[in-house]
Chains A and B, each alone.
Chain A
Amino acid sequence: MNLKVDRLLLATLLGILGLALVNLQSATLHRPSAFDAQVVWLGLAMLALAVAVYVPSSVVDRLSPLAWVAVVVLLVMVLVMGTKVNGAKRWLSFGALRIQPSEFAKLGVIFLLAHTMSRSRSDGAGWSLSDLLGPLNPSRPVALVGLLIWRGERLGQGYYPLAALALVWFVLSVVALSRNGLRGRIVAPLDTILVPMVLINIEPDLGTSLVVLVCGLGVFWGAGVQMPPKRALLAVSPLPFVGGWFAWNFMLLDYQKARVLGVLNPEADAQHTGYHTIQSINAIANGGVFGRGLGAGAQAQTARLPEHHTDFIFAVLAEEWGLLGSLLALLLLFTLVLLIIDGARHTPDRFLELSGYGIASLIVFQVVVNVGMVSGIMPVVGMTLPFFSKGGSSLVSLCFAVGLMIQARSSRASGVAKRQY
């Protein structure tokens, strides 16, 4: 293993982790035990990082279907025997150890998609949209029936058209299957995303399920999906609106709707939905340019900032480190994404390339939505700030993912070296 490890990406990662650790320490001054747990997790994350850097990517590639199945099993276990916190079942407890399988699900989806899409269509023709979605795939109408059974009573009048749709869809899929044969279409790439996503949404955890979707879309982007003809796009263009209406009325829970409305006007309901946003906006603004100093953020230290060590940790950073600190953090994160994409672009390993896009999408989406939410320009969804928020599962899986990309950049260096000599 005489791999030349890419120092640039590693340094960026360590810089982020260092900043995050100092900030978390300040955010948990009143509860040092929470910080200690995170330090232990950080040790595990360093282990995962080393594994990801040194274990050949082909091993990860080959294990990815198994990993995906394992993740789905864990997600089902969460629903069955998970630990409830604040009304949501998101955690599995093994004694003192508490893991959040949805964090690992993100990577599971990325790796399986990268695995699938780096193999099929190696003719170079590129994936078409219908390949990805597998619209005439019987698993989809079956899933729809599942949904009707699960949430049927919430649908009211919408129940019957949807049931009819499921029936017609299923018949069409069976017909299509009998004509075209199986050809690997029972689990299309969309299903790889959809299954964990639905499971996570049931917990309920809207934010993470959206992250899973975005990770998948990131891999699609990396794989280069051929766009369908314009006419087809026009035909489906009303779908998002119909879907949006449907989701608003039948799928979103009351508190989720309230949060969406809260963004539009946080002051209107300051005691409930808007409360979080107002507090975090005040915290950011209170920081000013140079910050109030470590451990001296009034909002952070008086815990008026809700969830200030998890979802709202950015506000602590902004309040105590000021604008300079928040820009530093954002710059480091941007550099990280840049280096990951750079690695993906140049690596000869197609699996790593596609994974890179997935990982970058994951980080970007969480950072943008989280900071957007904390600074009051996006709805409050449960979404953590990668590396910064307290949470072990997330830290371990992120370090593992970045480790893989360090390997991608490192192997490129050695590959070039091989060719030269």
Chain B
Amino acid sequence: MNAESRSFRALVFVLSVGFLFVLISLRVAYLSVFAHERARAAINQQVISEEPIAHQRGRILDRSGEVIVDSRPSIDLWVDGRRVLMTGPRFSELARRYNLPISSLDEPRRLLGIAALAGSEEPVIIKHQGVPPKRGKDLPGVTYKNGEIHINPRVFPSSEGIAYRLARYLNLDDRRRSSLARAIEKSGNLERLLVTDLSEAAWHRIGAELSVGQMRGLLLREGMRRAYRYGRVAYHVLGYLNEVSEDELKKFGGALRGGELVGRVGIERHMESMLRGVDGARFVIRNSRGAVMRGQWVDEMLGDRPWIDPVKGHDVELTIDLALQQRVEKVFKHRRGAVVVIDTRNGEILALASFPRPNPNRIRHGAYNRAITHHQDKPMVNRVLAEHYAPASTFKVVTALAALESATVNSETWRYCPGKFELAGSTWACWKRQGHGSLDLVGALRHSCNVYFYKLADRMGMKPILSVAKELGLGETAGLSIGPEITGVLPTDAYCRQRKFWVDARGRKRRLSCTSGDAVNAAIGQGFVTVTPYQLALAYARIASGKRIEPRIVRRVVAQNTREVESYSDENPPKLNFKREHLDLIREGLRAVVNDPRGTAYRTFYNAAEGEGAARLRAAGIEVSGKTGTAQVRAIKRDSKGRAIAEAVYAGRDHAWFAGYAPADNPVMAVAVLVEHGGSGGRAAAPIAFEVMAAVLVPKDEG
């Protein structure tokens, strides 16, 4: 080997190497110098993320400032779809590629989840029938071999694997696990809230996995969780929160972000604008595992991007008395129905309860939500405002007042009750078949005699009844900020025409207006008249006070720095448009119902056992006024001897009403109680009302 060729080879080698090094150096230099600005912008955009800082929603307080609902910090689990998807295609792609029904992938999904959890490398195999797919188009992680699709669990969707891991940490059942997997898969290019309020143990274990790069795409974030401190108590006042829907996101654009919670019913919904604060914002740099980076370089990159503090929502103070509300809900036990308590002096609603009650703390759990939504007892319906019932005998005060106002009767007018009433060939029976004999107005109210009121209605017609009902607040919504509300029904001509029609010989629809028969029915609160428990309580509160009080449930709204924002004060309501002596007569009748030995509620009040509400009221010398009502749900079937036989069937039983106020001569509170299918108003509803009255007027520790 001569020295010359040796040098030649070395020279050529070195020159070639030099050429290559210069080439790559130039490339690097080009990037460093000319692509610099563009890359900086791209990196800033990619690396710096603006993240919301959850605001604290305003609290809901009772009238004494006791906190009923507040928010506390929670750790939430989010998924960032952009980062999960990098691990592989989705099952929908797989199904499309190999022409498989998506349901046939359920089992492979499960197996993949287990394999991913175990870190297995063994492919999951799906048998494939039919035409083999075209060559050369396999999805990443998927190979097709002779009628079998092999899926590599390391490459193919991590959503199942993640869901399996999460299920282990969160103790999820199979159904919740697969819905979690679907949520991860569906996250697309969005961030989604997966699980709120992790337990501390789950938070630490998931956090540990994330910190070593497992379960890519998941994020732990601080959020706020709504805490209903007393569980079910006052659910129908408070309402609940739920995740904002996609439609709403579209509608409200920038105001809301995905995964946020908004009020759905009750105060939470209707005072949303007050309760809602403003989210803050901060800019952070996260590494690919989701950990927030710190250090000088981070500060430099973030520059003067602002940190915006969140603004707390306003506190809402209710007129509800929490202790009373709790007492009401305890007394009502496991029946269905409603109770409303109104302060007759200023219209403040002291308690409002509908039964059964869901638990707002659990309402966002899918299974619980489905269960209560479809439950036959309809726990989600607010029976106080959004359900209407025939008022039955409790409506007789309206008829009586109408008769007085229209001068159809006066305090000296007597009517005879033979036990039945005939009009235009039809017969209406009194509840007492043998009849009440001669009665004046007070006596008629006391006995709750039907025939007496049939006769009044037959005499005066519908008009006076309607105007009195209106003056007392029936047939109208309250505009309480806890809706939805309904108006109930009054037998106006418009309503009768809508309900009563016949088709004549030419096929034309002929409508009928109200007849005297309808008025007779309405006189005793049956037929075309229904009220909500709230309306009835209001009517009795107005009778008790003699004023047109307007109830309200929100006392004031207080900003976080305890500055009052808005207060809803008593504005001295006008007097009712009734003669004073007429009202006094009605009140006397109502007092007799409870206090006259012949009254329908007398026995309930005076025979009450020691310790019961009625007994305590009695002991304190407080008299109660009120009216019982027993609303027929369906025509009572009677056996050959005329005895009712539907009693035993729950759904056929009458609704029990009691509406009244106390103390009788200087009323401070009005109460309406409805027990669905409770039977007799005097027996089922009145004791509850007395118990509630006693809770306010004779607090236990004093009496």
Q: How does the 8 Å CB contact mask read for B1-35 relative to A, with 1 for contact and 0 for none?
A: 10001110110011001101101110111011101
A371 CB-CB contact with B under 8 Å: yes
Report the nearest A residue to B154, measured CB to CB.
A87
Find out whether the CB atom of A341 lies under 8 angstroms from the CB atom of B21. Answer: no
Which residues of the other chain, B, contact A282 by a CB distance below 8 angstroms? 39, 42-43, 46
Find out whether the CB atom of A338 lies under 8 angstroms from the CB atom of B297. Answer: no
Q: Which of A313-366 contact B (CB under 8 A)?
A: 318, 322-323, 326-327, 330, 333-334, 337-338, 341-342, 344-345, 350, 353, 357, 360, 364
Which residues of the other chain, A, contact B13 by a CB distance below 8 angstroms? 221, 341, 357, 360
A7 CB-CB contact with B under 8 Å: no
Find out whether the CB atom of A334 lies under 8 angstroms from the CB atom of B287. Answer: no
**What's the nearest-Cβ distance from chain B to residue A100, in Å?**
19
- Residue with the highest number of chain B CB atoms closer than 10 Å, among A275, A285, A301, A377: A285
**Which of A128-136, A206-214, A288-296 interfaces with chain B?**
A288-296
Q: Which of B289-307 contact A (CB under 8 A)?
A: 289, 293, 295-297, 300-301
Which residues of the other chain, B, contact A2 by a CB distance below 8 angstroms? none
B36 CB-CB contact with A under 8 Å: yes
**What's the nearest-Cβ distance from chain B to residue A43, in Å?**
27
Which residues of the other chain, A, contact B295 by a CB distance below 8 angstroms? 295-296
Per the bound structure, the CA–CA distance linking A288 and B28 in Å amounts to 10
**What's the nearest-Cβ distance from chain A to residue B148, in Å?**
13
Report the nearest A residue to B46, measured CB to CB.
A304
Per the bound structure, the CA–CA distance linking A371 and B32 in Å amounts to 14
Secondary structure class of chain B's binding surface, majority of residues: helix
Per the bound structure, the CA–CA distance linking A303 and B216 in Å amounts to 13
B466 CB-CB contact with A under 8 Å: no
* B interface residues, tally (CB under 8 Å): 49
Per the bound structure, the CA–CA distance linking A285 and B25 in Å amounts to 13
Which residues of the other chain, B, contact A254 by a CB distance below 8 angstroms? 138, 140
Task: Given A87-B152, A368-B21, verify A299-B33 contact (CB < 8 Å).
Answer: no
B85 CB-CB contact with A under 8 Å: yes
Of the candidates A224, A334, A375, the one whose C-beta lies within 8 Å of that of B9 is: A224
Find out whether the CB atom of A368 lies under 8 angstroms from the CB atom of B47. Answer: no
Find out whether the CB atom of B36 lies under 8 angstroms from the CB atom of A285. Answer: yes
Per the bound structure, the CA–CA distance linking A377 and B31 in Å amounts to 11
Per the bound structure, the CA–CA distance linking A100 and B116 in Å amounts to 26
B86 CB-CB contact with A under 8 Å: yes
Find out whether the CB atom of B32 lies under 8 angstroms from the CB atom of A285. Answer: yes
B99 CB-CB contact with A under 8 Å: no
Counting chain A residues whose Cβ lies within 8 A of the other chain, the interface size class is 35 or more
Of the candidates B18, B85, B138, the one whose C-beta lies within 8 Å of that of A334 is: B18
**What's the nearest-Cβ distance from chain A to residue B111, in Å?**
19
Which residues of the other chain, A, contact B335 by a CB distance below 8 angstroms? none
A281 CB-CB contact with B under 8 Å: yes
**What's the nearest-Cβ distance from chain B to residue A356, in Å?**
9
Per the bound structure, the CA–CA distance linking A272 and B17 in Å amounts to 32
A222 CB-CB contact with B under 8 Å: yes
Of the candidates B28, B40, B43, B85, the one whose C-beta lies within 8 Å of that of A271 is: B85
Which residues of the other chain, A, contact B287 by a CB distance below 8 angstroms? 30, 301-304
**What's the nearest-Cβ distance from chain B to residue A28, in Å?**
13
Which residues of the other chain, B, contact A143 by a CB distance below 8 angstroms? none
Secondary structure class of chain A's binding surface, majority of residues: helix
Find out whether the CB atom of A330 lies under 8 angstroms from the CB atom of B9. Answer: no
Report the nearest A residue to B301, measured CB to CB.
A298
Find out whether the CB atom of B28 lies under 8 angstroms from the CB atom of A371. Answer: yes
Of the candidates B9, B23, B33, B286, the one whose C-beta lies within 8 Å of that of A288 is: B33
A286 CB-CB contact with B under 8 Å: yes
Which residues of the other chain, A, contact B7 by a CB distance below 8 angstroms? 345
A84 CB-CB contact with B under 8 Å: yes
**What's the nearest-Cβ distance from chain B to residue A288, in Å?**
5
Find out whether the CB atom of A286 lies under 8 angstroms from the CB atom of B43. Answer: yes
Task: Given A284-B31, A345-B10, A360-B17, verify A302-B36 contact (CB < 8 Å).
Answer: no
Find out whether the CB atom of A330 lies under 8 angstroms from the CB atom of B24. Answer: yes
A372 CB-CB contact with B under 8 Å: yes
Find out whether the CB atom of A281 lies under 8 angstroms from the CB atom of B35. Answer: yes
B581 CB-CB contact with A under 8 Å: no
Task: Given A254-B138, A345-B10, verify A271-B86 contact (CB < 8 Å).
Answer: yes
Which residues of the other chain, A, contact B31 by a CB distance below 8 angstroms? 281, 284-285, 318, 375
Which residues of the other chain, B, contact A304 by a CB distance below 8 angstroms? 46-47, 287-288
Find out whether the CB atom of A299 lies under 8 angstroms from the CB atom of B43. Answer: yes
A196 CB-CB contact with B under 8 Å: no
A255 CB-CB contact with B under 8 Å: yes
Which residues of the other chain, B, contact A376 by a CB distance below 8 angstroms? 27
Per the bound structure, the CA–CA distance linking A333 and B13 in Å amounts to 15
Find out whether the CB atom of A288 lies under 8 angstroms from the CB atom of B297. Answer: no
Which residues of the other chain, A, contact B377 by a CB distance below 8 angstroms? none
Per the bound structure, the CA–CA distance linking A337 and B16 in Å amounts to 12
A287 CB-CB contact with B under 8 Å: yes
Find out whether the CB atom of B32 lies under 8 angstroms from the CB atom of A284. Answer: yes
Per the bound structure, the CA–CA distance linking A254 and B137 in Å amounts to 9
Report the nearest B residue to A356, measured CB to CB.
B10
> Can you pick out 29 interface pairs between chain A and chain B where the beta carbons lie within 8 Å of each other?
A84-B121, A87-B154, A224-B5, A254-B140, A282-B39, A282-B46, A285-B31, A286-B39, A286-B43, A287-B32, A288-B33, A298-B43, A298-B297, A299-B43, A302-B287, A304-B287, A323-B32, A326-B32, A327-B28, A330-B24, A338-B14, A342-B10, A345-B7, A368-B23, A371-B28, A372-B24, A372-B27, A375-B27, A377-B27
Binding site for A on B (CB under 8 A): 1, 5-7, 9-10, 13-14, 17-18, 20-21, 23-25, 27-29, 31-33, 35-36, 38-40, 42-43, 46-47, 85-86, 121, 138, 140, 152, 154-155, 285-289, 293, 295-297, 300-301
Sorted from nearest, which 7 A-B pairs have the closest CB atoms? A296-B297, A285-B39, A323-B32, A285-B35, A345-B10, A302-B287, A303-B288
Known: A87-B152, A288-B36, A371-B24. 17 other contacts (CB 8 A): A84-B121, A221-B9, A224-B1, A224-B5, A271-B86, A272-B86, A284-B35, A286-B43, A288-B32, A293-B297, A296-B297, A301-B293, A304-B47, A322-B32, A323-B28, A330-B24, A375-B31
